[in-house]
């Protein structure tokens, strides 16, 4: 069960954390475990679940060891979280309920983070829309640049030079 790359951060709703039902439903040590469970669910490739990369449940003792807590504290927290509907457990795999709603900001930003790792081909000069569409297909089909990269780079360089020249002319 391979999934998305590991998350590097998780969203915490400040108002809900400070003033929500979690304040009276969980004791302070249990709230710390809850925050750790959210972080573990973000680290798993099957986002929102706490399991290995193949979708197999971690033993509870393993989770307790990873969180540096007692098994009793983990079991107590999981029991309360199940009762309140914060988690569900299927075949031993712990799942954070409403994960996508809670972590929607991370999911929303994925395309922007991916875009930053690729050159922005929209800024290069193109003969027409069909030329742009063809380059876009080549670009999206492979992580590598199109085969005619030298021509692409030449046109990109010309576009940058034109933009710099245009800027100089308009400042004078």
Across the beta sheet with 93-96, the strand order is 49-50, 93-96, 87-90
Domain ranges in the chain are: 14-102, 118-171
Q: What is the mean pLDDT of residues 20-31?
A: 95
Mean pLDDT in the chain?
76
Q: Evaluate if residue 122 carries a pLDDT over 60.
A: no
Closest to 99 measured CA to CA, from 80, 81, 86, 113 = 86
Per-residue DSSP letters for 94-146? EEETTHHHHTHHHHHHHHHHHHHTS--GGGS--SSHHHHHHHHHHHHH-SSPP
Q: List C-alpha distances in Å: 87 to 26, 46, 79.
A: 14, 15, 9
Q: What angle do CA 69, 74, 89 make, to 5 degrees?
A: 145
Regarding predicted confidence, which is higher, 113 or 14?
14
pLDDT reported for residue 99: 84
Q: Evaluate if residue 1 carries a pLDDT over 50.
A: no
Q: Where are the alpha helices (DSSP H) in 3-121?
A: 14-19, 22-25, 28-43, 60-67, 71-83, 99-102, 104-116
Residue 80 corresponds to which tokens in the numbers above?
């309360």
pLDDT reported for residue 98: 85
Which residues have C-beta within 8 Å of that of residue 78, sequence separation ≥ 6? 60, 87, 89, 94
Residue with tokens 């994960």: 99
pLDDT reported for residue 66: 97
pLDDT reported for residue 147: 47
Q: What is the mean pLDDT of residues 23-30?
A: 96
| CATH class held by domain 14-102 | mainly alpha
Question: What are the tens digits of pLDDT across the range 46-94?
Answer: 888 999 988 899 999 999 999 999 999 999 999 999 999 999 999 999 9
The fraction of the chain above a pLDDT of 90, given in percent, is 39
Q: Evaluate if residue 121 carries a pLDDT over 50.
A: no
How far is Cα 36 from Cα 56, in angstroms, rounded to an integer? Answer: 19
Q: Evaluate if residue 171 carries a pLDDT over 70.
A: no
How far is Cα 118 from Cα 108, in angstroms, rounded to an integer? Answer: 18
pLDDT reported for residue 153: 57
Q: What is the mean pLDDT of residues 92-111?
A: 75
Q: Evaluate if residue 113 carries a pLDDT over 80.
A: no
pLDDT reported for residue 160: 61
Q: Evaluate if residue 30 carries a pLDDT over 70.
A: yes
How far is Cα 57 from Cα 93, in angstroms, rounded to an integer? Answer: 4
């Amino acid at each position: 069960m391979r999934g998305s790359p590991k998350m590097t951060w998780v969203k915490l709703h400040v108002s809900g954390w400070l003033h929500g039902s979690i304040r009276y439903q969980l004791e302070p040590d249990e709230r710390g475990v809850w925050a750790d469970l959210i972080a573990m669910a973000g680290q798993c490739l099957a986002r929102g679940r706490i399991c290995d990369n193949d979708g197999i449940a971690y033993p509870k003792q393993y989770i307790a060891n990873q969180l540096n807590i007692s098994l009793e504290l983990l079991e107590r927290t999981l029991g309360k979280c199940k009762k309140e509907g914060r988690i569900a457990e299927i075949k031993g795999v712990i799942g954070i309920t409403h994960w996508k709603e809670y972590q929607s900001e991370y999911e929303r930003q994925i395309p922007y983070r991916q875009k930053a790792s690729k050159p922005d081909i929209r800024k290069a000069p193109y003969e027409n829309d069909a030329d742009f569409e063809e380059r876009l297909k080549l670009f999206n089909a492979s992580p590598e640049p199109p085969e005619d990269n030298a021509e692409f780079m030449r046109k990109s360089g010309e576009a940058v030079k034109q933009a710099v020249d245009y800027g100089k002319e308009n400042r004078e």
